[in-house]
Amino acid sequence: MDKNTTFEVDTSFTGYVFVGGQYGKFKAQSGDMVEYCNMFVLCQPADASENHHPFGLKADKLKCTSPAAWEGLQPGDRLRVFFDKYGRVQTVDIDE
């Protein structure tokens, strides 16, 4: 991915907009090395309620099964996201 990518976001889009990802390992409290894989997206915030007043877009981190989940994506791509039974992103389709 080009580090200097620019894109426009349609704030009326109700899906996810890909902005990046990160994977690697970290040392858990047990001392074991644990793998992680995350995708970063923009999305609509939760619905408004008496105590919650969102506006604009929300930046979110989604756990992924592997970096293959974002293979071939570019920042700004609009996504349909498919999760596994543990709530991790397994695959995505570009939403044209």
CATH number at residue 42: 2.40.50
Q: Is 63 part of a structural domain of the chain? A: yes
Q: Is 8 part of a structural domain of the chain? A: no
**Total-model pTM:** 0.84
Residue 87, amino acid? G
Q: Is 34 part of a structural domain of the chain? A: yes
| pLDDT level of residue 96 (50, 70, 90 thresholds) | confident
Residue 80, amino acid? R
* Domain count across the chain: 1
Q: Give 49-92 pLDDT, tens digit per residue.
A: 888 888 888 999 999 999 999 999 999 999 999 999 999 999 99
